[in-house]
Amino acid sequence: MGFYTRSSSQARVAWVLLLLCSCTLLIRAHGGGSRKLYITYLGDVRHGHPDDVVASHHDMLGTLLQSKEESVASMVYHYKHGFSGFAAMLTQDQATRLAEFPEVISVKPSRRVRTTTTRSWDFLGLNYQSSHTPASELLQMSNFGEDVIIGVVDTEIWPESRSFSDVGYGPVPSRWKGECQTGPDWGINNCSRKIIGARFYTAGVPDEYLKRDSLSPRDHNGHGTHCASTAAGSAVGVDGEAASFHGLAAGVARGGAPRARIAVYKSIFAGYGDSATVLAAIDDAIHDGVDVLSLSLTVPYENSYGALHAVQKGITVVYSAGNDGPRPQTVEDTSPWVLTVAASKIDRSFPTVIELGNKQQMVGQSLYYQVKNINSSSHTTSSFTKLICARSCVPRHEVLHEIDVKGAILVCLNDNDAINPSDDFAHAAKYVVEGGGSGLIFAQYTTDALSSTVAYCPGIACVIVDIYISRRICEYAMDTSSPTAKIEPTRTVMSKDVLASKVASFSSRGPSADYPAFIKPDVAAPGANILAAVGDSYVTKSGTSMAAPHAAGVAALLKALHPDWSPAAIKSAIITTG
């Protein structure tokens, strides 16, 4: 048993002070607080070998964290090919102090990114060769984009699709420096002479999203496959079975540059992606040797300098403008060095006849098809059924809870802010499906995007109509004691009378909110109801995500025809061609 003395008390105080000092230093090193992913941008690569770039990153972060081990544990991505920088898990205090280093240009939090065909290429004048028409001059002169390499940063690809057949392709270009990463459902043979490279980026992606997707380049979402086949898909339906969505939009499906090679960079998992993973994809694409880079994504600030370095390396970078239209100054990417693409309509429509009980016929737009051998117990609209009008289908109004839709077609007279298919449409469709209804007629100001009439309507017919038609239908319903209606399957119509060459309502508008003097978007391309590959079949999708790969395909043709042209020259040729 010890004795309490003045000297032992002083010793204990000294130990406490030393411990507090150590804890202060430790907290200072670790920054305190919760950590999140930050992107540090250092500008041009200043070291000859990528390993030296990586070492310099660890030296810098190790200095900040006062530990080489902490640097390794915190590091998520190194950007070491096209530009220098890194993504690391840091506290806000650490990020603030790192930004004070003289070599650092910026330190920004990594932010979420979002993902934003048969007839469309003929509409653009890039006809594919058939028994009726010769191939367009640009396609012939560029040899269909042969051996140009298009990089696609997205949810990635379904390699078994007919759109990615490599029959007739020669060896992979010798200048290609990429690789084929494998995973549980992706082997080395899933890369080919068409899909020449495949990478995926899981670091920094929360486990909850990784568990819902494949840890490989395989696409279970469909968005990346759709975009890749739009830009560079091989021709499908020239001699054999036509590509179509259950008979709708039937024809030859192919990409703008059907002989181009494809390299894919999976940066989105189960709908989750962030700017750190997209930057890693851009950096690898620069190293691998792509000629054109297509990104159908929203674009945080951090990705703009990645695109700048890609352009400096001779890569044409194409971004989608975003889907927040028609409000002004909603365009996503306003960097002057990239090609920002809005979505336009084409000369194809999908009329769907609604016949009322009084024999009047109204026409809406849909992608409604009847399933063959349909179960007799299922509700269908092939015969007249009860018609019900709801004054609102907005969830907060709770009007639908008062309506029994069993066996009926519901008409939604929606609010004035119902410009595009939205949560209101999804809510109404779900109510009809769960209530045993047979159809939904949804009123809104535009009928540009029809994918929702399939996505939210399993087993029922959903039709989008304009406000005027919805009012006429409901006037009939109010004037009739037992109103009825039926919905006919959708047809495909191609005509000069169809409103084409107009910007789609959902497409984000310019000018730039940050720099109003920048006129953005640069160009519009087909993006409404575009048919392209998804899995082993073909599906229509709408969005500027569909427009961007159209522009990327054209850029690939120009690169094949003029291999010495710079990205600026290719961009100029696209935006100045009428």
Candidate list 78, 223, 226, 309, residue with the active-site label: 223
Candidate list 122, 147, 154, 333, residue with the active-site label: 154
| CA dist list (Å): 149 to 72, 172, 258, 274 | 34, 10, 11, 24
Measured CA to CA, the distance from residue 430 to residue 164 in angstroms comes to: 35
Candidate list 81, 366, 545, 550, residue with the active-site label: 545
Measured CA to CA, the distance from residue 565 to residue 314 in angstroms comes to: 9
Measured CA to CA, the distance from residue 137 to residue 50 in angstroms comes to: 43
Amino acid found at 118: T
CB 384 within 8 A of CB 359: no
Residue 269 CA, distance from chain mean position: 12
Element housing 531 (H / E): strand 530-534
154 flagged as catalytic: yes
DSSP letters for 139-169? HHHTGGGTT-EEEEEES-B-TTSGGG--TT-
Element housing 559 (H / E): helix 544-561
DSSP 8-state code for residue 218: B
DSSP 8-state code for residue 349: E
Residue 288 CA, distance from chain mean position: 22
Instruction: Please give the radius of gyration of the chain, using alpha carbons only, rounded to the nearest integer.
Output: 28
Q: Which residues pair with 79 in a beta bridge?
A: 85
CB 253 within 8 A of CB 531: yes
Q: What 3-state class would DSSP assign to 293?
A: strand
Measured CA to CA, the distance from residue 57 to residue 85 in angstroms comes to: 7
The residue written with tokens 């949560």 in the block is 423
Element housing 72 (H / E): helix 68-74
CB 109 within 8 A of CB 37: yes
Measured CA to CA, the distance from residue 98 to residue 311 in angstroms comes to: 28
| CA dist list (Å): 407 to 124, 151, 468 | 43, 48, 25
Measured CA to CA, the distance from residue 543 to residue 116 in angstroms comes to: 6
Amino acid found at 148: V
State phi, psi for 59 to the nearest 5 degrees: -60, -45
Q: Are strands 361-365 and 493-494 parallel, antiparallel or unpaired?
A: unpaired
DSSP 8-state code for residue 397: G
Residues 6+ apart with CB under 8 A from 389: 410, 411, 413, 473, 474, 477, 478
| CA dist list (Å): 87 to 98, 109, 198, 313, 372 | 12, 9, 22, 22, 52
545 flagged as catalytic: yes
Measured CA to CA, the distance from residue 223 to residue 234 in angstroms comes to: 17
Q: Which of 222, 317, 204 is nearest to 270 (CA)?
A: 222
507 flagged as catalytic: no
Q: Which residues are catalytic?
A: 154, 223, 545
